[in-house]
Amino acid sequence: MTIAVIPSFNEEKNISSVVRKTKKYVNKVIVVDDGSKDKTGKFARRAGAIVLTHRINLGVGATNKTGCEAALKLKADIIITLDGDGQHNPKEIPKMIKKIKEGYDIVFGARIKKRKKMPLLRKLGNRLSSNLQNFLFKSKLSDVQSGYRCFTKSAYKKIRWETSGYNVENEIIINVVKNNLRYCEIPIDTVYNDAYKGISPVDGFKILLFMVCEYLGRKHEDKADRERHPLS
């Protein structure tokens, strides 16, 4: 069974269309309403989604986790995460599922097709974040902040994250590399409906700081482990 998880916050304008389009390619759609002040949840339910609601805004990481845990309880074999603002085209889902069936544990959607149309601030932040992530953790991805991802249930159990905010995208990649999961990246079509939305400069700084702290923390853990087991 394939289940799509759509984290959403104040997306009454786009969520109905996103749910209807996504339903064409999956068995079930779960929308997690992250404390919206509008009718996001109501419109998502009308469009045919299973709606879970956070009473307060917890962040995209916590929202995706709520949805993925629910998907597991519904016996999902494959989980797809995509944004509720219409940025991600559901037509890409079959391509992702095909890669999973070829043997990959997780597939990352890379915003390459419309990179020229990406707002400048997003483009610069994405490039810096991707370069730093790849350098520190030896990943090989061109777009580490894309939330459009597809993974197996067994992969999810290995990449479970603790981060509640935007750092979730980076933590997942760190866990993918740590657990030697087989991954790939495919180009995806992207629509930018709201230039103001997404990662702010403050969020971007927090992401960079998170990666550096994770890197230093893991180096310390590795050193301590070597000291405990010098012959291993």
Helices (H), the chain: 15-23, 40-46, 60-73, 93-101, 120-137, 153-159, 168-178, 201-228
Q: Strand order of the sheet with strand 106-110?
A: 50-54, 28-34, 2-8, 78-81, 149-152, 106-110, 183-187
Which domain range does residue 91 map to? 2-228
The model carries a pTM of 0.82
List the structure tokens of 32. 């997690």
Give CA–CA dist 55/92, Å, rounded: 31
- Greatest mean pLDDT among 167-171, 199-203, 209-213, 222-226 lies in 167-171
Task: Return the exposure string of 178-189: e unless at least 16 CB atoms fall within 10 Å of the residue's CB, then b.
Answer: eeebebbbbbbe
Q: Sign of the C-alpha dihedral, residues 162, 189, 5, 60?
A: positive
pLDDT per residue as tens digits for the range 174-208: 999 999 999 999 999 877 665 545 566 676 667 77
Q: What is the CATH number of the domain that holds 172?
A: 3.90.550.10
- Rounded to 5 degrees, what are φ and ψ at 111? -80, 75
Q: Evaluate whether 121 touches 194 at the Cβ level (below 8 Å).
A: no
pLDDT in tens, 70-121: 999 999 999 999 999 999 999 999 999 999 999 999 999 998 755 555 566 5
Domain count, the chain: 1
